C-alpha cells in the first residue's frame, strides 16, 4: 500500500534528472510555443543520437570504476577513416561500416587489455588512446572529406514517421537499440552485475571469484564499439569526416553520464539515466536556440554547473552514509556480564 509510494533511495539521482528534464521542457514549451511541437521533441533525439550512443557505452565503463577519454577522438577517427575508405578506395559502405565497428571494438579491447595486464590507470591509457586516435584522424586526412556513398546518403536522409508529420532518423532507432541492449547487459546478465561489483570494490569482486580481468577488457571493448558507432552516426549525419569533429565530446559524455545519476567512482547508477543526462544537455541547447539572445556557450556553462551540483550531491550522500554507519552506541560489554562469566572459574587472588 504505502510501500508502492515509497521511492527507493537508489533511484533518487536518476529521478531527479528525469524531473529536471520534464520540468525544463514543460517550462520551455509554455514560454516558446515552438517547443510544444512534437517534432522539436523528436529533434532532441535526432540531434543527440550519437551522443546517446557514446554516453551509453561510457556509462558501463564508468560503472566498472573506469573512465574512457578517447570517446571524442575515436568518433573523429571513425568519421575520417570511414570517409577516406569510401571516397578514396571505393569500398562500399556495407563493408566500411562493420570494419569501423570492428576497429573501434579492437581499439577499446587494446586499451582494456593494457589497463588490465599492466595495471595502469584507465585515465592514462585512454588519454594516450585519445591522442593516438586524434592524431591518426589527421594522419589520414588534414581536410574534411565529403561522403558520396549512395547507401550512406540514403541512410542519412531516411525518415521514420511517427505521429502525424513528425519523424525520427535511423540514428535514433540505432541509439535506442544500443540503449536497450546495454540496459539488458547491465541489469540482467552476469557480466553486467560483475561490472557493478567491480565498480563497488574491485578487490572484493576478485575475492568473490568474479572474472574481473575479462570483464574489464570487455567493458572497454564495448566502449570502443559504441564510440565507433557514434562516429558512424556522426559522419552519417553530416555526410563527411574530419579530424576536428567531436572535439572534447568525451567530456560532454562524461557529464551526461554523471547528470544521469551514475557515480563517477563507479558501482552506482543506471544506463537508463544516461539517456536523460543526454536529453538535459540537448534541452539546454534547444532553450538557448529558442531564446535567440543567449550565446551558445551558455550550454557549456549550465552543463558544467549541473555536473558540479550532481557530483557535490553524490559526495554529500556518500559522506552522510559513512557518518550514519560510524555513529553507533559506544562499544562496551556490560561489566556485569563479564563478572558473571569470570566468577565461576576465576579463583580469588
Residues in the site for other proteins, rule: CB under 8 A? Answer: 9-10, 184, 187-190, 193-194, 196-197, 199-201, 203-205, 207-210, 267-268, 321, 325-326, 328-334, 337-339, 341-342, 344-347, 349
Q: To the nearest whole angstrom, how small is the minimum distance from the Cβ of residue 187 to other proteins? A: 8
Burial of 188 (0-12, 13-18, 19+ CB in 10 A): exposed
288 Cβ neighbours under 8 A, 6+ residues apart: 294, 295, 296, 298, 299
Beta partners for residue 167, in sequence order: 161
Distance of closest approach, residue 348 Cβ to other proteins, in angstroms = 8
Q: Which is nearer to other proteins, 90 or 329 (CB)?
A: 329
Query: In the numeric block, which cell numbers belong to residue 247?
Result: 572535439
Q: Which DSSP string corresponds to 66-81?
A: -----HHHHHHHHHHH
Q: Give the nearest distance from C-beta 18 to other proteins in angstroms.
A: 21
Nearer to other proteins by Cβ, of 94 and 318: the residue is 318
CA torsion sign for 232, 237, 243, 244 is negative
Cα atoms in the 13 Å half-sphere on the side-chain side of 113: 7
User: Nearest distance from residue 28's CB to other proteins, in Å?
Assistant: 35
First-residue to last-residue Cα distance in the chain: 64
Residues 254/280, Cβ–Cβ less than 8 Å: no
- 167's enclosing H/E stretch is strand 167-169
Q: How near is the Cβ of 333 to other proteins at its closest, in Å?
A: 5
Q: Which is nearer to other proteins, 212 or 286 (CB)?
A: 212
Q: Between 121 and 204, whose beta carbon lies closer to other proteins? A: 204
Q: Minimum CB separation from other proteins for residue 52, in Å?
A: 23
* 3-class DSSP state of 145: strand
Q: Which is nearer to other proteins, 24 or 200 (CB)?
A: 200
Which residue lies nearer to other proteins by CB, 117 or 207?
207
Residue with smaller CB distance to other proteins, 88 or 321:
321
Pick from 236, 207, 224, 25: nearest CA to 147 = 236
CB of 272 to other proteins, least distance (A): 16
Give the shortest CB-331-to-other proteins separation in angstroms.
Answer: 5
**305 vs 309: CA distance, rounded Å:** 6
Q: What is the DSSP letter of 160?
A: E
Q: Which is nearer to other proteins, 110 or 311 (CB)?
A: 311
C-alpha cell at 82: 570511414
Amino acid at each position: 500500500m504505502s510501500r508502492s509510494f515509497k521511492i527507493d533511495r537508489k533511484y533518487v539521482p536518476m529521478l531527479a534528472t528525469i524531473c529536471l528534464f520534464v520540468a525544463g521542457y514543460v517550462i520551455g514549451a509554455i514560454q516558446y510555443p515552438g517547443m510544444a511541437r512534437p517534432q522539436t521533441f523528436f529533434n532532441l533525439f535526432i540531434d543527440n543520437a550519437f551522443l546517446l550512443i557514446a554516453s551509453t557505452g561510457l556509462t558501463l565503463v564508468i560503472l566498472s570504476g573506469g573512465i574512457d577519454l578517447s570517446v571524442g577522438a575515436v568518433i573523429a577517427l571513425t568519421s575520417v577513416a570511414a570517409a577516406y575508405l569510401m571516397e578514396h578506395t571505393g569500398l562500399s559502405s556495407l563493408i566500411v561500416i562493420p570494419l569501423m565497428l570492428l576497429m573501434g571494438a579492437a581499439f577499446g579491447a587494446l586499451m582494456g587489455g593494457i589497463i588490465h595486464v599492466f595495471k595502469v590507470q584507465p585515465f592514462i591509457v585512454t588519454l594516450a588512446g585519445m591522442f593516438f586516435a586524434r592524431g591518426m584522424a589527421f594522419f589520414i586526412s588534414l581536410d574534411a572529406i565529403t561522403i558520396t556513398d549512395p547507401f550512406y546518403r540514403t541512410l542519412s536522409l531516411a525518415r521514420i514517421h511517427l505521429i502525424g508529420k513528425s519523424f525520427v532518423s535511423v540514428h535514433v532507432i540505432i541509439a535506442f537499440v544500443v540503449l536497450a541492449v546495454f540496459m539488458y547487459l547491465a541489469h540482467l546478465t552476469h557480466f553486467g552485475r560483475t561490472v557493478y561489483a567491480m565498480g563497488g570494490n574491485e578487490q572484493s569482486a576478485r575475492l568473490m571469484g568474479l572474472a574481473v580481468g575479462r570483464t574489464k577488457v570487455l567493458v572497454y571493448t564495448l566502449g570502443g564499439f559504441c564510440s565507433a558507432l557514434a562516429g558512424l552516426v556522426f559522419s552519417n549525419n553530416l555526410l563527411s569526416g574530419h579530424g576536428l569533429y567531436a572535439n572534447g565530446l568525451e567530456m560532454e559524455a562524461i557529464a551526461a553520464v554523471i547528470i544521469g545519476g551514475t557515480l563517477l567512482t563507479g558501482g552506482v547508477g543506471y544506463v537508463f539515466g544516461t539517456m536523460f543526462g543526454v536529453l538535459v544537455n540537448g534541452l539546454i541547447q534547444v532553450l538557448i536556440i529558442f531564446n535567440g539572445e543567449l550565446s551558445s556557450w551558455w550550454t557549456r556553462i549550465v552543463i558544467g554547473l549541473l555536473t558540479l551540483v550532481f557530483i557535490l550531491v553524490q559526495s554529500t550522500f556518500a559522506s552522510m552514509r559513512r557518518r550514519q554507519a560510524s555513529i553507533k552506541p559506544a562499544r562496551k560489554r556490560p561489566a556485569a556480564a563479564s563478572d558473571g562469566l569470570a566468577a565461576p572459574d576465576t579463583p580469588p587472588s
